[in-house]
Amino acid sequence: MIALTGADILGLLEAAETVALVEAAALATLDAGGFMVPQRAHVQWESGTLLMMPAIGAGAMAVKLVSVVAGNAARGLPVTNGLLLLNDAESGLPLAIMDAAALTAIRTGAVGALGLKHVTPPAVASLGVVGAGVQGAWQAITACAVRPIREIFAVRRSAAGFERFVATLAARVPQVTVTPCASAAEVLERTEVIVTATTSAEPVLPDEPALLEGKHFIAIGSFERHMRELPDAALRLAAHLVLDSEFARHEVGEAVRGVQQGILAAADLFTIGELAAGRRTLDVARTTAYKSAGMALYDLYVARALYQAALRRQVGQEIVL
């Protein structure tokens, strides 16, 4: 068995590769017999949430354990931490243990970029980011693999955090210019595609149709029923919500509230896999909305590819339990 650190993981795959992997996983969900993904477990404690996400498919098994502690941002610590264990599906033997925070960063960046690929016009050249942390940075980085992004408009909430955001992008996508914004409203005024990468329980965008109309929303942060990043007006204008999995239909606030409040009908919610397969269509000249809650199958596809790349390149530390 090998151990892969965060640094190992961040150097093994190109952004375009991770997007292709998560698209393959999204398409695989259309074949119910090809995988097993039990509903993930959420365990709340006073400081945050512990998530357990198992999946079996494509010859492998993966279990990811992740803690999400919003208060870590104020401590200068990562909000998301954890480990992923990858096993061979035939024998059950462990193959690798991986830093789950790094894997989640690149995987979720790819899931966001997959949404961008299918719910925005092809010529989009700028991107707005609300939530310029680790995940916001990887959303921006991976977006550049699917669209000709040249400028990022990001809300600047703290000097130190924004500097880290800019430095991360400079190292990965140096061709991109990063412009600070004072508010989400300013971001909306300056670009047509907005990524929200927060753990907010309340919408992080103003509920103002005049600002939201004609925009494209990629909401990848808040991940529980009581949490939502998008305001009601965004869903009304879109008249649909594209989800990264069927699980999200019952897991995220945008989907749950949207249907409960009568803003959307159940049929207005559908998956990115259906869109990628051509089973559903969207008019990307109008307002669009995409919501990611995460899915263990995405982790499995990316983890398996990381393991294979690590073997080819002799990366990682061999360990014996």
114-123 confidence digits (pLDDT tens): 999 999 999 9
- The dotted CATH code for 111-294 is 3.40.50.720
Q: List beta partners, residue 270.
A: 242
Closest alpha carbon to 69 in 100, 41, 46: 46
Per-domain boundaries in the chain:
2-104+297-318, 111-294
Predicted confidence at residue 35, as pLDDT, reads: 87
- In this structure, are residues 13 and 141 in contact, taking their beta carbons and an 8 Å threshold? no
Q: Does domain 2-104+297-318 have CATH number 3.30.1780.10?
A: yes
Q: CA 201, 205, 208, 214 torsion: positive or negative?
A: negative
2-104+297-318 matches 111-294 in fold: no
Tracing tokens 């190109």 back to the chain, one arrives at: 14
Predicted confidence at residue 179, as pLDDT, reads: 97
Predicted confidence at residue 39, as pLDDT, reads: 83
Q: Which two three-digit tokens encode residue 276? A: 């990628």
Compute the radius of gyration of the chain from its Cα atoms: 19
d(CA 36, CA 55): 6
Positions of E strands within the chain: 2-4, 35-36, 41-45, 48-57, 60-68, 80-88, 94-99, 126-130, 151-155, 177-181, 193-196, 216-219, 241-243, 269-271, 288-291, 317-318
Predicted confidence at residue 84, as pLDDT, reads: 98
Q: Which two three-digit tokens encode residue 202? A: 């309340």
Sequence-distant (6+) residues with CB within 8 A of 31 are none
Predicted confidence at residue 223, as pLDDT, reads: 78
Q: For the chain, which ranges sit under pLDDT 70?
A: none
- In this structure, are residues 216 and 282 in contact, taking their beta carbons and an 8 Å threshold? no
Q: What is the pTM of this model?
A: 0.93
List for the chain the helix, strand, coil content (%; round to 5): 40, 25, 35
Phi, psi of 258 (to 5 degrees): -55, -45
